[in-house]
Amino acid sequence: MRNLPYARQDISQDDVDAVVRVLRSDWLTQGPVIGQFEDAVAAYCGARYASAVCNATAALHLACRALDLGAGDLLWTSPNTFVASANCALYCGASVDFVDIDPRTYNLSVDELATKLVRAEKIGRLPKIVVAVHFAGQPCDMEAIGALARRYGFAVIEDASHAIGARESMAAVGSCSHSDVTVFSFHPVKILTTGEGGMLLTNRAEIDAKVKLLRSHGITRDPSLMDEPSHGPWYYQQTELGYNYRITDIQAALGLSQLARLDAFVGRRRMLARNYDLLCGGLPIVLPYQQANVQPSWHLYVVRVPGDGRRTRNEVVANLRENGILVNVHYIPVHTQPYYRKLGFQVGDFPEAERYYDEAISLPMFFGLSEADQDRVAGQLRNILS
């Protein structure tokens, strides 16, 4: 029987043709397709501006730079995320702290956030940025987080690496209605792919301008953005310390072609999630929580195996993997990573995220997964657990 990964891309003949067209064109990078891809994602999400970059990690870094995060500043995020959601602060010389998760959605808990803000205000250590991660494609309560942002004066970045195509109260994730910036990842395990790639969306013109400058060395060729007069048509001017975080036209062509299938990708994932709910309903495991007014994108379908610490979960993972079902675990709480422990964090600091980690399993979830594959996964779970 074939191995079932937890995630994989789906590449169509149209995707291949779109990439080949760019390979035969005049520009492999910095050509016309990047702008078309940006405009299409911005239109899909209902955001004013979009900037495609080489990956979501770079996008998070640029978002922090554009929001002026620097030494002495604080960024807060969820411990239940990929390390990049926190590392972006350290790149800027700022510090990181975490807000423990909601035991049902596994997103950063808005109650914990509110409590922590009260304490932080008293001691004068409010965050400059909060990174809200839409874990597994379940949108955070952005209205509540946006209200806290206005009350306490912090900026909000949505790390929507899992959540392109998700909706909250009918608004598409990426509209930035309650945030300053939204970031998407186009890594092959995510909802849609460009190989490597990422995008930043914003409704704020000054953030968009800064991101577009910083993604290409802090260099401009636009005389209206220069600090000093142009020397001539060859002239460019560096006005900031930027990076080479550009995406290529080759990648943008793949992304634009994949975007045409985004609704199909997410629709299929929603069907697969409902089917897992039915197949796993009777098992002694905790299924994903369904929030009201939310349509997740289902990047991950996570079940929890309650047990004594990690032992039961580890046995289930080992058994599934021995049977070719290559499940994964998302996420090792960031504060428990050795690098973060060296910064002063300890096991025990964020108990809800740690308890969750001990019990979580990400079942196979991708566009090409069949109902027969799901029967196999659920059947194996039934064998182990009953």
Ligand X SMILES: *Cc1c(COP(=O)(O)O)cnc(C)c1O
- Residue in 185, 194, 220, 336 binding ligand X, rule: CB under 6 A: 185
- Residue in 47, 50, 52, 56 binding ligand X, rule: CB under 6 A: 56
| Minimum separation from the CB atom of position 233 to ligand X (A) | 36
Q: Applying CB under 6 A, what is the total number of residues that bind ligand X?
A: 14
3 state SS of 134: coil
Name the residue among 22, 42, 24 with its Cα closest to residue 32. 22
> Are β-strands 155-159 and 181-185 bridged in parallel, bridged antiparallel, or unpaired?
parallel
Tell me: does residue 187 bind ligand X (CB under 6 A).
Answer: yes
234: how many CB neighbours lie within 10 A of its CB?
Answer: 7
- Distances from the Cα of 131 to the Cα of 76, 142, 157, 322, angstroms: 6, 11, 5, 37
Tell me: does residue 182 bind ligand X (CB under 6 A).
Answer: no
Name the segment binding ligand X (CB under 6 A); options: 20-28, 32-40, 77-85, 219-227: 77-85
3 state SS of 184: strand
Tell me: does residue 81 bind ligand X (CB under 6 A).
Answer: yes
Identity of residue 37: F
The Cα–Cα gap between 352 and 86 comes to 18
Tell me: does residue 198 bind ligand X (CB under 6 A).
Answer: yes
Helix axis angle, 249-259 to 13-23, nearest 10°: 150
Element (H, E) at 361: strand 360-363
The Cα–Cα gap between 217 and 236 comes to 11
Residue whose CB is less far from ligand X, 96 or 133 = 133
Structure tokens at 266: 């997410």
End-to-end distance of the chain based on CA atoms, in angstroms? 23
Tell me: does residue 194 bind ligand X (CB under 6 A).
Answer: no
- Residue in 9, 51, 77, 85 binding ligand X, rule: CB under 6 A: 85
Tell me: does residue 202 bind ligand X (CB under 6 A).
Answer: no
Site string for ligand X, 114-143 (x = CB under 6 A): -------------------x----------
Name the segment binding ligand X (CB under 6 A); options: 80-88, 213-221, 305-313, 338-346: 80-88
Residue whose CB is less far from ligand X, 294 or 378 = 294
| Contact by Cβ (8 Å): 114, 126 | no
Residue whose CB is less far from ligand X, 126 or 329 = 329
- Residue in 9, 107, 138, 161 binding ligand X, rule: CB under 6 A: 161
Tell me: does residue 179 bind ligand X (CB under 6 A).
Answer: no
Footprint (CB under 6 A) of ligand X, residues 327-386: none
Name the segment binding ligand X (CB under 6 A); options: 31-39, 140-148, 154-162, 276-284: 154-162
Name the segment binding ligand X (CB under 6 A); options: 78-86, 226-234, 278-286, 333-341: 78-86
| Minimum separation from the CB atom of position 162 to ligand X (A) | 6
Name the residue among 222, 224, 219 with its Cα closest to residue 244. 219
User: ω before 331 within 30° of 0 (cis)?
Assistant: yes
Q: In the block, which residue shows the tokens 């994903």?
A: 288
Binding site for ligand X (CB under 6 A): 55-57, 81-82, 84-85, 133, 159, 161-162, 185, 187, 198
